[in-house]
Structure 1
């Protein structure tokens, strides 16, 4: 996923360079187009589960990634943010956040079936040892327009799209079930089972502002929001950030911010059996962060 982020950034750079070469040489005397790259860290808290099937009753129930499968609830994570500012008031931004976790469960406490992963069903029995990975990437692409500008401030609005990439992998002693039946073979050592899910791009709207209160010191803030229920996705996002940027030399700055960030997404997966739609491997993911963020920023 990180490669995709940098491919998009590279595409913008190449496109903008080609466009700049074709422009007349007249430049604004008060504003210069520019690129900003932020690389930072933040501390995230996560709560996620998936829907599994009870092999005895056929009913469904949630299995918690953190409580049952022992994935870490909190950890330090990287983030990247790229901004292209042009024509004085316009901004294109891309940011990427990642949550990659892995854990070993020595003894699974309950039987459950993973349904419809690559067209197959898998049985995990009580007492089995299981290695679980859950990788979540959130990519945001958007456009911002400065409505008000002054010599030391700017206020604008933004429109963006979020996409969530979820990859789940299981390794261990796992049984393979006969499709469309309740029969599952004895548990055997199974190669890694991988499920990859991508949400449709989810829209968000936002406000942002910046104010230079002392030469080289800038206060900035933004707030983004979306809430949507469409097709198989039901989700919401709140992202509020207040921060200070300190310029340390011509191109480099340090940024410290306080961020409230919360994504809550349910992804429903179904399949048709005998003209009846049945829920299979649903996700419910809550990815939240409240606390400080730190970044190094480079302008070029």
Structure 2
């Protein structure tokens, strides 16, 4: 809720500035952005066989860094006076290693509750990946000399994966205790709201708000996405920008023999270059 409050206050301030801004610039047909996202990640993963409870495993507990910079790409096509199509692609990969002193029940991988009694150290090596593909269809609700507001529907296709290998290390001898992997690929439809404020001839503030809470087939999904960006036009067709993103995913797949759950929060500043034509 704190993130919502901060973002809404920022948007309100931008709206006030926009009221005195200059005439809205001519809308380009195509807009492309290539950027870097200095994201902080907080993810928890679990995988439980039928009749098992499973263990909630946090990335930081597994020895992963909680911050990383990743590249992303987005495009927008204004294909009609009131209609636009917008998409975004981003990826996140992380690896971690930790000496385990806790019980782990992850799919078929089951480390004993009395792990301290093992003769040696248990090392967990894990890999986490998140591929995000977003496409939204927007319809113009309102436009003035300085403000534009669109609403639409979209789909976030999320692909989460986790691999864990457990190794017993004792007296310079290693023994595999097992390995397990879990992945979920799910299309999550969402309601989206776009806002643009042309503050000056060169400065534009834009925001995107997306939300869903949905249960369908074998999936339970929740999504909250907030994005705020400021563009500065160096020329008519090229500019630079900076912003902040907050994306919170919760996806659970209830299979016949396995229930996999991924709860992931990605947030942080972003910088990018933008081309319009």
In structure 2, how many angstroms separate the alpha carbons of the residues matched to 1:195 and 1:91?
36
What displacement does 1:265 show? 2.6
Separation of aligned partners in 2, 1:31 and 1:72: 41
Shift >6 Å, 4+ stretches: none
Q: Gaps spanning 5+ residues in structure 1: where?
A: 1-29, 116-120, 175-186, 272-279
Q: 1:252 to 1:52 in 2, by over 3 A?
A: same
TM-score by length of 1: 0.69
Alignment partner, residue 89 of structure 1 = 82
* 1:71 alignment partner in structure 2: 64
Shifted more, 151-160 versus 70-79: the winner is 70-79
Instruction: Figure out how many residues of one structure are paired with residues of the other and give that number.
Output: 239
Q: Which sections of structure 2, spanning at least 5 residues, go unmatched?
A: 1-25, 116-120, 169-173
The higher-RCO structure (CA 8 Å, 6+ apart) is 2
Equivalences for residues 205-244 of structure 1 within 5 A: 205-244=191-230
* TM-score, normalisation: structure 2: 0.74
User: Which of 129, 136, 160 is residue 123 of structure 2 equivalent to?
Assistant: 129
Partner of 1:297: 274
Q: 2-side partners of 1:239 and 1:79: how far apart? A: 16
CA contact (8 A) 2:184 2:260 kept: no
2:102 to 101, 110, 122: 110
What do you get for the CA RMSD once the two structures are aligned? 2.8
Render the CA deviation track for 1:206-238: whole Å, top value 9, x for unaligned.
211212121111121221111112233222212
Deviation, 1:31, is: 6.2
* Cα displacement string for residues 119-165 of structure 1 (whole angstroms, at most 9, x for unaligned residues): xx344453322210010112111111122234443211121011110
Mapped partners of 1:36, 1:82: distance in 2? 4
Structure 1 residue 296: Cα displacement: 1.3
- The answer to whether the aligner puts 1:202 opposite 2:160 as a matched pair is no
